[in-house]
Amino acid sequence: MLSACATTTAPQSHAPDAVPHAEGAIYDPSIDASAAVDAALAQAAADDKRVLLVMGANWCQDSRALASYLMEPALAAELDANFETVFVNVGLPQTGDGYNLDIAERFGVSPEGTPNVLLLNSEGELLNSQDNAVSWRNSASRTSADVLEVLQGWSAK
């Protein structure tokens, strides 16, 4: 389930050797992010799934690229089968203009930029490390196959 999303797309390449992909604007600053995360945790418990908490911003190329990858059919199917997914807008944390950062901190992660990806079990325990959570800041340089491989590894229960 993709929570709190609205999308726009425009094909774009990020580097000479990058695979072109559409970029989505999915990080909605108007949602109650805490309520969305709590709802995802409750739904994950009911459906025996994990929560994929994607904390990014629409201004960020890497955040948009990751959101775009997650909307591709193969990745969307993986998400739907194994995760409750929440996209949380965090503004510009690297300049002190971030918001919703308390959500990441709730799970023991200190966002250093965008995007950050937190893998949670339905009890709200962080399953990936701080280093892994913040390592997604190069998402535009990854491929959808790379992201799918990570998701498939995280799907194992």
Tens of pLDDT, residue by residue over 55-109, are 999 999 999 999 999 999 999 999 999 999 999 999 888 787 889 999 999 999 9
Q: What angle do CA 115, 118, 120 make, to 5 degrees?
A: 160
Tens of pLDDT, residue by residue over 111-145, are 878 999 999 999 999 999 999 999 999 999 999 99
**Position 148 in a domain:** yes
Domain hosting residue 82, numbered range: 22-155
The model scores a pTM over 0.75: yes
Q: What is the CATH number of the domain that holds 46?
A: 3.40.30.10
**Position 104 in a domain:** yes
For β-strands 91-92 and 97-98, DSSP reports them as antiparallel
Q: Give the chain's domain count.
A: 1
